[in-house]
């Protein structure tokens, strides 16, 4: 301990036991009485001096018990009580000293000065270790020796001297030049005729760093929450809104005040409420940590707003649901585009169906008169009653071939319609390219001859 709490261990004087004193007094009285009886019985003709001695002995024998019980015994009991009290005080100081030196937090004892900063008069071992100073280097120094910021010291000392208990934070310097943040609890104590300041201090540097990190994290989350272009809401465990951002307000048409303390059911399309409730109950029961769904919101003006919703649970260390974070992206335009695409696809399919029907009908209607025309041409060409010259026959032959080609085209149109409906399937096969070339040359030879 320091100056005020380290005491010498000199032994106290031993006091006689009351039982032992009583035994000694009783023994003395007994022997004095025996001597007195012996002298009275067997010794005759004592001198006046001897008689006076015997009278004095008798007086002492009579007075001693009275003196013991009236004076000596109370005095001994008082001394014994004082010794017990001193032993208890020494034991209490010993326990306090052990606590003082073994606490994990460190302790400083300050003595206020009439002028200037208070002086460090004692400190725990943990204080010396924490600051890197020895007892000789620290004891007797003003508190400004440790405090990096001394501006508030006079105000604190005034409050302490008025009997207030203070709790504050300071920055302390160590011997190696480093600093740390300390949380201080201070009060005044009476020690004899002195009034001292007793402080218990704790290093909270890591705690402050964690608080700063947490605060920065909260600020980043708040900025992301408030300024996000995606709708974000924070709900309590009963799924009532406790915070919403501007994007969600714009998405639904409601102000934050109108949404706060309301639940999601009030702005959800009736057809989507049941599914939303089912997933929310699963999240609350801990069966899942998040869920995702597409749902419809009812805008304040009555319009339908589609939202892509992702809901996550925020739980405490015990797993209890504390908050629910919901992120909603407006997908109304995408849903409208999808709906328009579906309608366009249905319209295209309907148009294709009508076209196929038209092609099928037209093909049949074209094929019938064409077959008749080809038949008549063949009759003219092959008529033996009025034979044609070779030029005319050649022309009729080319016309018949063109008619057949047209018939084949009509058949191809019909096959294409059947292909779309899956009635036939394409197959690969070899063909004579020379035949195609010769046919095309024959088809255009008459026109070439005319030119």
DSSP secondary structure string for all residues of 269-336: -HHHHHHHHHHHHHHHTTS-SEEEEEEEEE-TTS-EEEEEEEEEEEE-TT--EEEEEEEEEE-HHHHH
What is the largest distance, in Å, between two alpha-carbon atoms of the chain?
Answer: 217
**Residue 402 C-alpha from the chain's centroid:** 85
Predicted confidence band at 46 (pLDDT cuts at 50, 70, 90)?
low
Burial annotation 255-293 (CB, 10 A radius, 16+ → b, else e): eeebbeeeebeebbeeebeeebeebbeebeeeeeeebee
Residue 120 CB neighbours (<10 A): 24
End-to-end CA distance of the chain: 132
CB of 178 within 8 A of CB of 91?
no
CB of 373 within 8 A of CB of 403?
yes
Q: Which of 292-296, 342-346, 416-420 has the lowest mean pLDDT?
A: 416-420
CB of 409 within 8 A of CB of 358?
no
Q: What is the mean pLDDT of residues 274-288?
A: 90
Q: What are phi and psi of 324, to 5 degrees?
A: -130, 125
CA torsion 76→81→87→92, rounded to 10°?
-170
Nearest-CA neighbor of 282 among 272, 274, 291, 292? 291
| Confidence check: pLDDT of 20 > 60 | no
Burial annotation 355-367 (CB, 10 A radius, 16+ → b, else e): ebeebeeebeeeb
Q: What is the mean pLDDT of residues 243-272?
A: 90
Q: What is the mean pLDDT of residues 172-187?
A: 91
| Confidence check: pLDDT of 305 > 90 | yes
- DSSP E strand stretches across 98-165: 106-111, 119-123
Q: Is the dihedral of CA 158, 164, 165, 168 positive or negative?
A: negative
Nearest-CA neighbor of 272 among 246, 237, 298? 298
Cα gap 256→178, rounded to integer Å? 48
Query: What is the model's pLDDT at position 312?
Result: 92
Write out the two tokens for 90.
Answer: 């020494």
Write out the two tokens for 228.
Answer: 């996000």
Q: Which of 7-11, 136-140, 309-313, 362-366 has the lowest mean pLDDT?
A: 7-11
Q: What is the mean pLDDT of residues 148-170?
A: 88
Write out the two tokens for 73.
Answer: 């015994």
Q: Strand, helix or coil at 183?
A: strand
Predicted confidence band at 35 (pLDDT cuts at 50, 70, 90)?
low
Q: Which of 93-102, 197-206, 307-316, 428-437 has the lowest mean pLDDT?
A: 93-102
Sheet holding 304-315, edge to edge: 241-244, 231-236, 321-330, 304-315, 290-298
Q: What is the mean pLDDT of residues 228-247?
A: 89
Query: What is the model's pLDDT at position 300?
Result: 92
Nearest-CA neighbor of 269 among 239, 293, 240? 293
Query: What is the model's pLDDT at position 116?
Result: 83
Q: What is the mean pLDDT of residues 129-152?
A: 89
> Which contacts of 426-434 are long-range, i.e. CB under 8 A and separated by 24 or more positions?
none
Length of the chain: 451
Query: What is the model's pLDDT at position 399?
Result: 81
Percent of the residues in the chain that have a pLDDT greater than 90, as a whole number: 22
Query: What is the model's pLDDT at position 11?
Result: 41
Q: What is the mean pLDDT of residues 429-434?
A: 86
Reading phi first (left if > 0) and then psi (alpha if -120 to 50, else beta), residue 231 is in beta
Write out the two tokens for 305.
Answer: 């707003």
């Amino acid at each position: 301990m320091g100056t005020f709490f380290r005491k010498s261990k000199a032994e106290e004087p031993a006091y006689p036991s009351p039982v032992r004193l009583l035994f000694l007094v009783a023994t003395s009285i007994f022997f004095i009485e025996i001597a007195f009886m012996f002298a009275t019985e067997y010794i005759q003709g004592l001198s006046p001096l001897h008689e006076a001695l015997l009278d004095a002995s008798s007086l002492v024998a009579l007075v001693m018990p009275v003196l013991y019980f009236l004076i000596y015994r109370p005095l001994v009991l008082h001394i014994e009580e004082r010794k017990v009290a001193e032993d208890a005080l020494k034991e209490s100081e010993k326990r306090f000293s052990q606590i003082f030196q073994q606490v994990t937090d460190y302790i400083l004892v300050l003595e206020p000065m009439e002028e200037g900063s208070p002086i460090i008069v004692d400190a725990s071992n943990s204080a010396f270790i924490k600051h890197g100073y020895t007892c000789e280097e620290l004891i007797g120094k003003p508190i400004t020796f440790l405090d990096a910021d001394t501006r508030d010291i006079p105000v604190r000392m005034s409050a302490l001297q008025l009997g207030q208990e203070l709790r504050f934070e300071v920055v302390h310097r160590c011997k190696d030049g480093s600093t740390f943040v300390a949380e201080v609890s201070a009060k005044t104590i009476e020690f004899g005729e002195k009034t001292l300041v007793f402080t218990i201090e704790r290093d909270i540097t890591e705690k402050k760093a964690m608080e700063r990190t947490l605060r920065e994290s909260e600020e980043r989350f708040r900025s992301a929450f408030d300024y996000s272009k995606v709708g974000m809401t924070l709900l309590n465990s009963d799924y009532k809104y406790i915070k919403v951002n501007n994007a969600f307000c714009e998405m639904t048409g409601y102000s934050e005040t109108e949404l706060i303390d309301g639940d999601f059911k009030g702005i959800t399309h009736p057809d989507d409420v049941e599914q939303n409730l089912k997933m929310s109950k699963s999240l609350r029961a801990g069966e899942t940590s998040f869920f995702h769904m597409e749902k419809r919101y009812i805008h304040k003006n009555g319009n339908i707003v589609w939202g892509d919703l992702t809901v996550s649970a925020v739980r405490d260390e015990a797993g209890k649901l504390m908050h629910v974070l919901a992120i909603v992206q407006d997908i109304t335009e995408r849903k409208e585009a999808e709906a328009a695409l579906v309608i366009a696809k249905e319209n295209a399919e309907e148009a294709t169906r009508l076209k196929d029907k038209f092609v099928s009908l037209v093909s049949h209607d074209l094929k019938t008169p064409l077959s008749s025309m080809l038949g008549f041409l063949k009759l003219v060409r092959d008529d033996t009653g009025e034979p044609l010259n070779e030029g005319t026959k050649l022309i009729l032959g080319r016309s018949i071939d063109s008619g057949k080609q047209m018939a084949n085209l009509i058949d191809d149109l019909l096959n294409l319609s059947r292909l779309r409906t899956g009635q036939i399937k394409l197959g690969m096969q070899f063909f004579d390219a020379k035949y195609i070339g010769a046919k095309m040359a024959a088809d255009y030879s008459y026109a070439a001859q005319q030119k």
